[in-house]
Structure 1
């Protein structure tokens, strides 16, 4: 009976550990999302949309840095994320939003961090009112080259640690140069179709990765994390291009709409 008791305790402990490992990051993300959506009692708080609408500036500058999602791989310029968001935001706030697309196909978080730290983007950062960042996907994809997704999964902790350090350094540098800019982070999404053998595992790992983005954002006075996973996921294959990785025109449009929805609902914290 003692052996059975100890075995039961052992397996229960394993079950609790697995449940915590899988679901706690999701709980953390939801908690941080809720905090960003809180209205509170301060009626003077403004949504991001209202903030830019009420700004004395008639020209808003939008800088976008990162990888091929920013660059707009596979679509025309007028269909990419940076152009679409800048154009529609301008219409909603009745101002001109100038966009500066510095996305580079194949860019990793290490590569972007190096670019930022070397000062190559200092002037662009200094001029920007909004800075959008999408990075991290290639950290995983380059490890999973030749469709070896298992290699990426086995290296997950190392990849995530490097990514978090890079994103923190990039954000710190931006804050140093332009503390008043709004930084817009995009969640990493899972492009695997729902019937892929690793789709469920990828979905369980994704919150562990994205929670680091939310944690970095929490240390930035004015920042917002776009819930890309709401519109790009295994249940919305119509938003992915034929390569199975990048958004198609519908996918970029869906991310743009998600950005505008959150700009209209979430409250901007004051920079200090």
Structure 2
């Protein structure tokens, strides 16, 4: 194929759409699937049972689909599935899943993964996620749609981050983050709502007002955090607030970052 550089190594068995562009010195493993419009810049490694969705671009020196960095991994079959139109920049690493985590690492559509960031085994990421330079998402994490992870941030294993939340740079997050939350400080603190993100998405003023009132109730109401969330669910008419309530009431293996 004329759009595959002669120095690239494509192992037998790889499924490559005719429209795929593969630059010099790339390595594509035998169980890899590259769909229409995918482009690999130079020196990209794609291994394992990895599927890369349409029009995704992977930049130089990224290593995609390698085995997990998990001592419990014993070579069991597992996968990495990457959605459409992602931009995966230089030196990014994304690992396949493990048997203990369901065997799947999954990346949604339209994400931006900046230079040097890491997505670990069994992480599940939604659509339009941005992970900034040198941030790390540990194993078994769930990042919902429209989440932004700041540079040099670290997300602890099994943490869930709700839709539209933003994590500041150089922040360690060890507990779940409610949808639309704003987290900052070295040992991540829930410091408000991602109001800028809400406004940019065109969320109605009435819903933003409802979210701000809900945040105050979660911060200052009587009872435990879960008690306050339950009462909030009984009173709210906002779908956005209901999303927070449902997130808090869902099963989780971790505690929540709570408002200060």
Which structure's relative contact order is higher, taking Cα pairs within 8 Å and 6+ residues apart? 1
TM-score (norm 2): 0.22
TM-score (norm 1): 0.21
Q: Which structure carries more strand by proportion?
A: 2
Q: Which structure carries more helix by proportion?
A: 1
